[in-house]
Structure 1
């Protein structure tokens, strides 16, 4: 909770605005209820007095209260967007070695689970501080006994929701941890679905998935049970406090005659406002503890010191190639054989390289070594410039459950004119601008659905924004219709004319655009000059 609060305080303007707006909201609440009490007093005891001015004043205060409450919520929503974007950027730059299913779940579900802390709990904290404070201050001048009752009974509400909130935090962390594990298991089973069918293991796998999903459901229901129980206790204590205030005001008005009707009315009307604001904080505190459970998963990833973290990039400014691989060998953990062996390669500025070979020859692994995602067991990879920017365009781009803007900018602040330009370059501008919310349209699950070609072009837009000096393509046009493939090829030729490009080639026409071909067989670099192509089909596979 402390770390989430510090994260919120990083954006100082938002908490300051929340404090000011909540103060105005608290004043509006007190003035509104005093005005209502005055109206009741006039109607019941002074029936001949004109109420028009007082009613208009009360209406203005009501509108002001609604406005301040809405503005407070909007500030929280904006802060949540900023924090979510910042955390996602950190996770992406972290390049965790966790399984891909765990990484995707952390980037989506866990980050989304943190959001309620900033758009629900944090705004409510300021409201629940200022409204009760202003009410007690007002009641100290209007009716001291009511103020004392409020101050004595109010602490019981935080005690109960803290007790339930701590339990919720632990259960929420258990749920998110289990969801990470379940996501990876589900992904693995989906990838191996054909194998499972061949070995007649689908029924058993289905039963296992059902059991795992049921466990996740039970974990979710435990949190809901805590929420309902917490809500019940908060309602009970609030009703008890309101009843005590009403009893004291009623006795003072009817039996002891030590207060007038207007004072009793103010006390009875303000009491629900007082206890409800604290009760609302209790409900938001429960939500905040759920967010804390999700944040533990995210912060564990960010704080993790992985032994696989890549070392500092080796540079050799005197070398001519922008990237040089010298006697590089690599094998995966627990593998018996090397995927790549004794690879020596010079990548010069502006070269268009086609990387070819049979499936499993080591092409993708070599690309990962060049991007420094993998570290070779022997040999060296040196860069002419440490700040060399590298882009990657894959066959299977990942679309985040976020806006089109965030998917293209990868949660960075980019000028909208630049975004529209790259969308125009990839042929998506008309479609995006035709959407109701334009760049802020939500895509992915629960939002606007994109075709495979459109997702590729979204990823191409990401690359266009960064304008990398070295660009690696994993045959991005594979499986696309002719029109989309032509758009991507045109963008590559026009926008990256002088960029160094390495293409993992699967089709012959890719090699036609290359000025250097590298053949890999069984982990060895066999040739960097000549390849053989299927001459009967220029659009066919490389052989």
Structure 2
């Protein structure tokens, strides 16, 4: 990672502090108070030692200093506890804010973009990398201020007593931050490399775990195990590099600190022996001054040493922020990326009402990166009609669905009741849509709870009707609505899960029904019954269905035939069955069946 990128990420991390500025300032105030108490505590301790050793005063006369010493210890412990609590709250709040930013961006770009990366990579960004920002805000940021405040307070009280001791501290202090900067440059690179390997490892492991059955069938488990072992070894090596940098920086900081404190001890030792006679402002050097300066010397360097320790957290934060910022600031094209004038919710409710008619004119669908996915498309989905979209895989059928859902940008015109889609409020528009995808997601909940995702207000009669229309009542009557569906739809066949998804879409009662292979996993009998139900439903709403089973499309009002991103035929089944590419698809389908 180059220096310019590091500086930019550091600036981005600092800009996120605005929401926790009050807590950070409060933390710094408590730290400043703790520094003042430290000076008072040292004064009490040095006074006690001077009076007991040199003056020989009885302990009874020094009781106030003992009480002051205990009180200072107690107050500093309480303040440290409060500062730790404040720091944790700061880190927690910032993590929640940044995670929300990531969620909002994921919601904006949609599944068309999210599917470009493995699920494990997104999990790493949301969990591991955001978590690595915690110590940056909880410890490093407050320590930056404390590393300046505490040394200044100590220098202010030491210089009037002994300018030589103050000068030693002042001259040796820059060595620590200088080395921190040198180490930090390498540490940030190591952390970024570590995060990248972790993201790749997470994605690979999750993908292999999900495809374990396929790997076993093709006898590839051993090969993939070796591959994961190699990636794990890479992650181990980069982790050790990061730890090596952390331990090296700590060791060198301790070395410079020890040298500096030893230098001051040598100065006072030779001064007491009468070998050195400077730094005392022409006054006698008392035991109080020596103890006071020597006790504060480690405390002078301690904030800088802590900052050096937390500098590793800064490096980890910059490494983690790299992937987060890259995602948040990448300009993915969405359906509303280039639109400023949006239809308000009230305008939409008055305009986009059933029946819904969709017209595309010279529609070119764009990928999130701005690449054209289709050629110019022209079609009309008339209100309350059932339209089928057929073609070979990769023809662009799912891209049309994703565009209607608002997940992909486009050029040209795509109007909903004469209103451009990219000017609509997507949240309100999606309320008009019921959708069933190729691989329906059922939550780890009861059958009833999954169905009510379609309409939380649905009655028992409406649930029963939807189950009957989707041909799901057959098995639901046996297992019951309160049966809990396990993760990954365990306990249900693929066809049963598909029929539940269709029932959920029917409950939604959307004015536009989008179906992406809704009968792909059904047997012939169930498929015919579901298609008949969908045909009946389309009489009250507009329906667009993607399917490969083109032999059963006689009941559709219109068929759009796609090839290589272009609609090459349109019409009714009887018009298309004996001509062009549709006839070829139909013949190929019959051959596959036979």
TM-score by length of 1: 0.69
Displacement of 1:241 in angstroms is 1.0
Q: Which residue in the other structure is 2:425 paired with?
A: 387
Is contact 1:27–1:134 with CA below 8 Å preserved after alignment?
yes
Point out where structure 2 has 5 or more consecutive residues left out of the alignment. Answer: 1-9, 278-283, 457-465, 486-499, 558-594
Displacement of 1:217 in angstroms is 1.2
* 1:179-238 alpha-carbon deviations (Å, 9 max, x no partner): 233333334333433332222222111111110111111111101011111111011111
Task: Name the SS for the 1:483 alignment partner.
Answer: coil
Q: Which residue in the other structure is 1:326 paired with?
A: 359
Structure 1 distance, partners of 2:215, 2:444, is: 26
Matches within 5 A, 1:239-250: 239-250=258-269
Q: Which residue in the other structure is 2:92 paired with?
A: 81
Structure 2 distance, partners of 1:109, 1:347, is: 48
Is it true that 1:129 corresponds to 2:148 in the alignment?
yes
* 1:290-322 alpha-carbon deviations (Å, 9 max, x no partner): 211111121122222235675446869574437
Aligned CA distance change for structure 1 residues 57 and 311 (closer, same or farther; 3 Å):
same
Aligned CA distance change for structure 1 residues 29 and 520 (closer, same or farther; 3 Å):
same
Displacement of 1:25 in angstroms is 1.6
Q: Which residue in the other structure is 2:235 paired with?
A: 216
Q: Which residue in the other structure is 2:403 paired with?
A: 369
Displacement of 1:288 in angstroms is 0.7
Q: Which residue in the other structure is 1:297 paired with?
A: 323
Aligned CA distance change for structure 1 residues 396 and 166 (closer, same or farther; 3 Å):
farther
Deviates more, 1:281-290 or 1:366-375: 366-375
Which of 169, 176, 197 pairs up with 2:195? Answer: 176
Is contact 1:139–1:146 with CA below 8 Å preserved after alignment?
yes
Structure 1 distance, partners of 2:272, 2:380, is: 95
Structure 1 distance, partners of 2:448, 2:410, is: 30
Deviates more, 1:172-181 or 1:312-321: 312-321
Is it true that 1:202 corresponds to 2:239 in the alignment?
no
* 1:509-541 alpha-carbon deviations (Å, 9 max, x no partner): 997997757654239997689xxxxxxxxxxxx
Is contact 2:268–2:290 with CA below 8 Å preserved after alignment?
yes
Matches within 5 A, 1:92-131: 92-95=103-106, 97=113, 98-101=116-119, 102-131=121-150
Task: Name the SS for the 2:61 alignment partner.
Answer: coil
Deviates more, 1:286-295 or 1:220-229: 286-295
Is contact 1:171–1:223 with CA below 8 Å preserved after alignment?
yes
* 1:414-453 alpha-carbon deviations (Å, 9 max, x no partner): xxxxxxxxxxxxxxxxxxxxxxxxxxxxxxxxxxxxx932
Structure 2 distance, partners of 1:279, 1:481, is: 64
Displacement of 1:499 in angstroms is 7.8
* 1:220-272 alpha-carbon deviations (Å, 9 max, x no partner): 11010111111110111111111112222222234358311111111111111
Displacement of 1:278 in angstroms is 1.0
Matches within 5 A, 1:286-435: 286-306=312-332, 311-312=337-338, 319-321=351-353, 324-327=357-360, 344-345=380-381, 368-375=402-409, 380-382=414-416, 386-389=424-427, 390=430
Task: Name the SS for the 1:452 alignment partner.
Answer: coil
Displacement of 1:396 in angstroms is 8.3
Structure 1 distance, partners of 2:213, 2:239, is: 31
Aligned CA distance change for structure 1 residues 18 and 526 (closer, same or farther; 3 Å):
farther
Aligned CA distance change for structure 1 residues 213 and 343 (closer, same or farther; 3 Å):
farther
Q: Which residue in the other structure is 1:538 paired with?
A: none
Displacement of 1:80 in angstroms is 1.9
Q: Which residue in the other structure is 1:140 paired with?
A: 159
Aligned CA distance change for structure 1 residues 271 and 366 (closer, same or farther; 3 Å):
same
Deviates more, 1:70-79 or 1:211-220: 70-79
Displacement of 1:458 in angstroms is 12
Structure 2 distance, partners of 1:105, 1:17, is: 32
Point out where structure 1 has 5 or more consecutive residues left out of the alignment. Answer: 399-450, 465-472, 530-543
Q: Which residue in the other structure is 1:278 paired with?
A: 304
Deviates more, 1:14-23 or 1:125-134: 14-23
Q: Which residue in the other structure is 1:452 paired with?
A: 444
* 1:444-467 alpha-carbon deviations (Å, 9 max, x no partner): xxxxxxx93299979999x99xxx
Structure 2 distance, partners of 1:183, 1:197, is: 20
Structure 2 distance, partners of 1:455, 1:66, is: 54
Displacement of 1:46 in angstroms is 1.8
Structure 1 distance, partners of 2:229, 2:358, is: 48
Structure 2 distance, partners of 1:324, 1:92, is: 32
Rg (Cα) greater in structure: 2
Q: Which residue in the other structure is 1:38 paired with?
A: 47
Structure 2 distance, partners of 1:455, 1:54, is: 72
Structure 1 distance, partners of 2:451, 2:36, is: 50
Displacement of 1:376 in angstroms is 6.0
Displacement of 1:91 in angstroms is 2.1
Displacement of 1:331 in angstroms is 10
Task: Name the SS for the 1:326 alignment partner.
Answer: strand
Is contact 2:20–2:90 with CA below 8 Å preserved after alignment?
yes
Displacement of 1:501 in angstroms is 8.7
Structure 2 distance, partners of 1:286, 1:130, is: 21
Deviates more, 1:511-520 or 1:132-141: 511-520
Aligned CA distance change for structure 1 residues 248 and 195 (closer, same or farther; 3 Å):
same
TM-score by length of 2: 0.64
